[in-house]
Every structure is written in structure tokens, then in C-alpha cells.
Amino acid sequence: MPSHLSAPIPTSAAPAPPPPGATPGHLFVLNGRLEALGADAVVISTDSRFSIGDHWRPAAGLGAREDWAGLRPQGWQRGSALPASRQPRPGRQVWFLDAIGATPDEVGRAAARAVEQIARTGSQRLRSTAHAAGRDLPLVAIPVLGTAGGGHDLERGLVIDALLAHLTAAAGEHGVDVALVASSRSDYSALQHRRRAAGRRALPTKELDDQARDLGDRAARGDLALFFGAGVSIAAGLPSWGALLEKLVEAMGLDITPEDLKGLGSLEQAELLQVTLAKRSGRHDEAARRDSQEQLGRQVASTLARDDLRPSLAHCLLAGMRIPEAVTTNYDHLYEEAVAASSGLPADQHDRVISTLPWDPTDAARPWVLKMHGDVDRPATIVLSRSSFVRYDTRWKPVGSLVQSLMMTKHLLVVGASMTDDNLLRFAYEVAGLREELVAAGAPGGPGSEIGTVVHLADDVAFSRLWAGRFDVVVASPPQPDDGAPAREATSHLEEEAEAARRRRAARGLTVFLDTVAMHAERDAPHLLDDRYLPADPDEAALVRRLREDAHAVRQRADVGGDRSAGWRELAEALERFGTAT
């Protein structure tokens, strides 16, 4: 094993608080699994004896035949929060926390202690890892602690209150982002309802908060469809368009230099790769062009097939919203993996919970994602070059019709897409044109009837004016600091670093915005009548107890059978959806 995989993280470093003026961290709430999130550090809960359930193996990156003892930190004792003695995988720190507390509040304090230790131990290394992954602040993933094995399963509501309070404070104080990952939908629902009831506002302006609330309300009532692009997957470690082309050129040994690609549009750049491949074959017919396109598709699939990839924070936030219809220009499976994790399944079992169109059959009981430009499992379908785009309408016209039907019937949330894709632009302009004709003929319309909302990373006045009346443009990130014009002697390297920092800040603003949307989108309440989540208010708690007693009587009536019990059965099932069955 390479030495860098087994080297322990130093634990004796002096405390290193965030630099003055650093961005405060934010507490994100996700529905999923620890292993299905790209994070810089992950916290595994245990006790003073270092007893760990095997269900944490995927999160720790521990193989089926490896022993937990090999990761036990030196000096482990009651109350410890320490890194693993060796790190199973590069780029992701594994930490262990004695999460046992006598009270729910002590569990919350233990979680905050873990965040503090992670932030203070090797903070520079953490930040370097985060920046390399495109994150502005390090991201620490932590599960809902103290419940199943922690002794407070019957006090889940109190544990959740404590975790929200202490982790929010710890993230803000120590300058790291924290993702509280709820594997249970009931825990997730309780977390989101309690956050919403607390009225905390994480966005910089009331206008942004109102926009997030509106999108969340649309998602809750089934009026929202999703369109996401490469910006969501780049945050997971996949290459940008330019970087992808560079990798393709290198992998396929093409005689193309960066200078050759300069001045060409993105589709023409890919077309140059395809033409070069066809020319290398010595053939100049249509079959040669098709072969070269398929070769490019196979190489794209090979380039994106990495075992270390995990869904980004944006993938997981979107998956938690449970939007039934989604469209993407991405080839990867990261969104599908996030959806599987939000359903409690391992990421590689996504085909059990979400359909991939246009190949899979649809089912009214499960969501779907439409792959506009192909899929890594089907390299021949990958759309990359100008010629493949030109042939798109002939080959995939029903796909375009489906996208346009969403534009006509739902509010389309566009995330991580620059609105420069030729096909998406054509679909949008055609739908906008039809809507304008209908309004001119007397159909309802006007302000507030846009096709959808584009969440943009930069405040671009021209972009907003271009789409005014067609898409609502939301700039999710706060105003970027004016770094001023670079000094004459500044190198291009410094300019690139400054631009990378601006992109990281903008991308983080997007995730904070999506976290607020997800909070408002969660209106299911499977925790509401579950007495493990009893509210602190004594009148509400008494009401929950009375309703649980009534639900038991209703279920007895429903179980009698026959036509007379049909209505009681529906009522019993409705109450059970709010948690009376537990």
C-alpha cells in the first residue's frame, strides 16, 4: 500500500482557527448515506470501547475483510474525537467519535466537539483538499448521532434539536461546512420541519430567501421539474468541458495542441477531435465519422468511470427534494446515486429507485431522469461534437418533446447549466415563442409565468435581461469581493487562483441556496405523530399522544375487514404516514 494512504493525520498540531474575515461555516441537512457524499472528512460514531457496526464500513472505506482495529486511533478513550490511525482512502479523512452521552444535549455537544477537532487538526491540509475539490470551505459529513446505538432512540426529537443547535454554532465558529446526514426519512423530515419552525435565515438577503421559499413550495406541491448540467458534477470532481477534451486528446494520442482548440466553440473543439480520429482511420465516408463518434463516446465513458467519485453536495440536496422529473446533459450516474442514497439504498442500486430515460420503462411510483446527451453505460449515445448535435433532432426528437412538455407543464429549476447548450436553447425559445403567441391571443400569462428559474453563479445583468419574462434568474451567491485590477507584475497563475476562489465562493452560495430550497420542499411529516419525536411544547406533545391512541382504535376498526372498514382503513393508513405505526 502506498505510504500516503496509511500515514496518520497529525493530532498534536497547535490549534489553527479560521483566518480573520473567513467565511462562517454552514450546517447543511441531507437525506442519504455518509458514503454517498463527497466530503473532506467523515465522522463515524462509536463508543469508549471502539465498538462499530459494520454498516459504517462503506463510509469509512473499510474492506469487508479488514478489521476495525486497524483504524483505531492511538490514545482512544471515553469522550475521544480522533482521526483514524490510517486513512483508507486519499482525499477523505475518517474520524471516530465517542458519541455516547447521558442526555441528548451531551450528544449534540459531542458532535460539536468532533467538528472542532477536525477544524483545528491539520486545518491547512483540510482546506487544500477542499479547494482541490472545488469547495470554498472544508465539508465535514456527520450522521444523526446518539439514536439507535447511542441509547436515545426514544428521544430522537430532543437529539435532533441538540444536533441542530450545537452543529450550527460549531460550523459558524470554526469556519467549516457541516453536512448532517439523515439516513432515515423521519429524521430528515423532523430536521427540516424544526429548522423551518426556528426561522433561521442563512441567505444574505430577504429576496433570496423568498425565492428559495417559492421554489421549495413548488417542489412540495409537485409543480417543479429539474434541469441540471455539468456544474453540479464538476463539484463532485468530474472535469470541466475543457479539461475533459484535454484528457481525451491525451488518452487517444491525438495530434492536437491547446493552440489548435483556441478560438473554436466548445462543440467545434469536440468536432476537431472527431474529425482527427476519422482522418487517422484513413477513411472519409459516413461510416468513418460514425465510428469516430462512437470512439469518442467510449473514451468519455472510460474517462468518467472512476471508483472514487461520490455525489456532490448539490446532487444530494437536489435528491432530497424528491422532484419526480429531472433532465440532465450529464453523462454520469451521480444524481441517480444520490437519489438511491436518499431512499436508503447503496449508490450502486440506483436502478431500483429511479428510471433512466429514454432507456428504462417509466413507473408512476418512482422518479425518472432523462439523459439528454447520453449515458456512460451506453457510450454510443454520448453527444459531444457539432455533428452529433446536428443529428440530435433526427435521432432524439421525442427526447426534445419530453423536455418541452416539462417546460409547458411545470416550473423548470435549472441548476449548474450555463444556458448555452444548443438543444436546450432551441427548446426554450420554441416554448417561449409559443407562450408569447398564446398570451397575445388572450391566454393567461404575464409576470410570474416564466418557464422556470435559472440559478446563476454570477450577477450578470446582460444574462438576466436576455431571459427576462422567460426565466427568472436567481444569483445565489453573495456579491463577490472586488479584488481590484491585478498589479502589472502579477502572474497569470495568481489571476487563475483568484478566479478559482471566486468560482468556489459562487458554487458554495449555490449549495446554501439549494439547502434553503430543500428545507422548504420537505412537507411530508412521517415524524409528526411518532412519539420518539415529541415536541417540547407540552400541549403539542399531549395532542400527539391523544392522536396516537385514536390511531390505535382506528386501526382496530380497519382490521375488522369487509366493505364497512374500507374508509377506516384509509384513515388508519393516512395516520400511519404521519408516524403512528412506530
User: Does residue 284 have a pLDDT over 70?
Assistant: no
Residue 13 pLDDT class (50, 70, 90 cuts): very low
Residue 2 pLDDT class (50, 70, 90 cuts): very low
Q: What is d(CA 268, CA 247) in angstroms, rounded to the nearest whole number?
A: 17
Q: What is the pLDDT of residues 41-52, one digit of tens each?
A: 999 999 999 999
Return the higher-pLDDT residue of 237 and 115.
115
Return the higher-pLDDT residue of 489 and 227.
227
Query: Which range has the worst mean pLDDT, 101-115, 256-270, 470-484?
Result: 470-484
Q: What is the pLDDT of residues 124-160, one digit of tens each?
A: 888 888 888 889 999 999 999 988 777 898 999 999 9
Quote the pTM value: 0.90
Q: Which of 329, 319, 447 is nearest to 389 (CA)?
A: 329
Q: How many other C-beta atoms are found inside a 10 Å radius of the C-beta of residue 126? A: 23
Grid coordinates given for 122: 491539520
- Let me know: does 531 contact 545? Beta carbons within 8 Å: yes
Residue 181 pLDDT class (50, 70, 90 cuts): very high
Cis peptide before 358, with omega less than 30 degrees from 0? yes
Q: What is d(CA 131, CA 129) in angstroms, rounded to the nearest whole number?
A: 6
Indicate the residue type of 104: P
Q: How many other C-beta atoms are found inside a 10 Å radius of the C-beta of residue 159? A: 28
Q: What is the largest CA-CA distance in the chain?
A: 86
- Let me know: does 501 contact 554? Beta carbons within 8 Å: no
What string of H, E and C letters represents the secondary structure of 75-137? CCCCCCEEECCCCCCCCCEEEEEECCCCCHHHHHHHHHHHHHHHHHCCHHHHHHHHHHCCCCC
The residue count of the chain comes to 582
Q: What is the mean pLDDT of residues 321-339?
A: 95
Q: What is d(CA 348, CA 337) in angstroms, rounded to the nearest whole number?
A: 7
**Residue 9 confidence (pLDDT):** 34
Please, is 344 exposed, middle or buried when counting C-beta atoms within 10 Å of its C-beta (0-12, 13-18, 19+)? Answer: middle
Q: What is the mean pLDDT of residues 495-510?
A: 86
User: Does residue 3 have a pLDDT over 50?
Assistant: no
In the sheet that 81-83 helps form, which strands lie side by side, from edge to edge? 27-31, 177-182, 139-143, 41-46, 93-98, 81-83
Kindly state the percentage of the chain with pLDDT values over 90: 49
- Let me know: does 96 contact 44? Beta carbons within 8 Å: yes
Kindly state the percentage of the chain with pLDDT values over 70: 91
| CATH superfamily of the domain spanning 3-200 | Leucine Aminopeptidase, subunit E, domain 1 (3.40.220.10)
Residue 7 pLDDT class (50, 70, 90 cuts): very low
Q: 368 has which bridge partners?
A: 325, 355
**Residue 491 confidence (pLDDT):** 61
Q: What is the mean pLDDT of residues 554-566?
A: 83
Pairing verdict, β 41-46 and 93-98: parallel
Query: Which range has the worst mean pLDDT, 304-313, 407-416, 423-432, 558-567?
Result: 558-567
Which residues, at least 6 apart from 403, have a Cβ–Cβ distance to it below 8 Å? Answer: 227, 327, 370, 372, 424, 427
Indicate the residue type of 577: R
Domain boundaries defined on the chain: 3-200, 226-238+309-521, 241-303, 531-576
User: Does residue 231 have a pLDDT over 90?
Assistant: no
To 5 degrees, how large is the angle CA 412–CA 388–CA 374? 50
**Residue 72 confidence (pLDDT):** 94
- Let me know: does 191 contact 164? Beta carbons within 8 Å: yes
**Residue 493 confidence (pLDDT):** 67
- Let me know: does 44 contact 97? Beta carbons within 8 Å: yes
**Residue 358 confidence (pLDDT):** 92
Q: What is the pLDDT of residues 533-556, one digit of tens each?
A: 998 889 999 999 999 999 999 998
Q: Which of 27, 114, 40, 14 is nearest to 73 (CA)?
A: 114
User: Does residue 196 have a pLDDT over 90?
Assistant: yes
**Residue 285 confidence (pLDDT):** 67
Give, as one character, the DSSP assignment of residue 378. Answer: B
User: Does residue 327 have a pLDDT over 90?
Assistant: yes
Residue 194 pLDDT class (50, 70, 90 cuts): very high
Q: What is d(CA 296, CA 218) in angstroms, rounded to the nearest whole number?
A: 39
Pairing verdict, β 471-475 and 224-228: unpaired
Grid coordinates given for 76: 482512544
Q: What is d(CA 498, CA 493) in angstroms, rounded to the nearest whole number?
A: 9
23: three-class secondary structure by DSSP: coil
Residue 278 pLDDT class (50, 70, 90 cuts): confident
Q: What is d(CA 533, CA 391) in angstroms, rounded to the nearest whole number?
A: 55
Q: What is the pLDDT of residues 353-369, one digit of tens each?
A: 999 999 999 888 899 99
Q: Which of 46, 35, 100, 101 is nearest to 72 (CA)?
A: 46
- Let me know: does 477 contact 510? Beta carbons within 8 Å: yes
Please, is 447 exposed, middle or buried when counting C-beta atoms within 10 Å of its C-beta (0-12, 13-18, 19+)? Answer: exposed
User: Does residue 484 have a pLDDT over 60?
Assistant: no
Q: What is the mean pLDDT of residues 116-131?
A: 87
Grid coordinates given for 7: 500515514
Indicate the residue type of 578: F
- Across 167-176, 237-246, 380-389, 485-494, the highest mean pLDDT is recorded for 167-176
State the average pLDDT for the chain: 86
Which residues, at least 6 apart from 136, have a Cβ–Cβ distance to it below 8 Å? Answer: 23, 130, 501, 504, 505, 507, 508
- Cell 469522550, residue? 79
Which residues, at least 6 apart from 105, have a Cβ–Cβ distance to it below 8 Å? Answer: 158, 162
- Across 5-9, 307-311, 328-332, the highest mean pLDDT is recorded for 328-332
What string of H, E and C letters represents the secondary structure of 266-326? HHHHHHHHHHHHHHHCCCCCHHHHHHHHHHHHHHHHHHHCCCCCCCCHHHHHHHHCCCCEE
Q: What is d(CA 429, CA 425) in angstroms, rounded to the nearest whole number?
A: 6
Query: Which range has the worst mean pLDDT, 47-51, 72-76, 114-118, 247-251?
Result: 247-251
